Chains A and B, each alone.
Chain A
Amino acid sequence: KQEVTQIPAALSVPEGENLVLNCSFTDSAIYNLQWFRQDPGKGLTSLLLIQSSQREQTSGRLNASLDKSSGRSTLYIAASQPGDSATYLCAVSSKTSGSRLTFGEGTQLTVNP
């Protein structure tokens, strides 16, 4: 059964800092991995999707990497801004679990002005 873990659970940084969020998963037989953003009481906004055959994806100040063999992904946020404050969720679609997404607990990010 796929399990997804995210560390740290919470992170507080000053504005402008570069930061890395970590995600690990137990079953490397994946279709893809997605990073989402969730604002308090709101829905999930997809940030990046990495296919199992890819090593990284970039969108603006965000860069996500995938090391399938070690079961790890990182989300790198460059030059953080207060507007980046949110919870970041990692989710994996496993070949052994159909198309469902298995989510981590999330990292709650606070960027201080």
Chain B
Amino acid sequence: EPEVTQTPSHQVTQMGQEVILRCVPISNHLYFYWYRQILGQKVEFLVSFYNNEISEKSEIFDDQFSVERPDGSNFTLKIRSTKLEDSAMYFCASMVWVGTDTQYFGPGTRLTVL
């Protein structure tokens, strides 16, 4: 069964460094998402992406963050100048179409900022 994959599974970085989290969505899906979950807290929406552009973003997704679909398969989240509070589990999700379909989640990347 097709699944969303994410790499790396765990990323440790120093405060102020840039990180890129990678995702490979399910191949026929059109909508892509990033969510994050700080330890012990709710899963929070960051951004959605459709037709090679951001379709929605939350107040969390400020200029520190960017997303890209550099080729036909990868979907990336870049975090510039990481802060301690960026430490969280980051989940990628994809969906065929809005409104009627399940969002399928990847296994997550645990980001630790020291």
Contacts and interface: CB of A to CB of B under 8 A. Distances in A.
Interface of A: 31-32, 34, 36, 41-46, 49, 51, 89, 91, 93, 97-106
A97 B98 CA distance: 12
B45 A34 contact: no
Q: Number of contact residues on B: which range applies? A: 20 to 34
Interface string B83-103: 000000001010100111111
A18 to B, nearest CB: 25
Contacts, number: 62
Given A41-B110, A98-B55, 6 more contacts: A32-B99, A43-B108, A49-B102, A93-B103, A99-B55, A105-B42
8 contacts: A31-B100, A42-B108, A45-B105, A49-B102, A91-B43, A99-B33, A99-B56, A100-B45
A99 B101 CA distance: 10
A99 B33 CA distance: 9
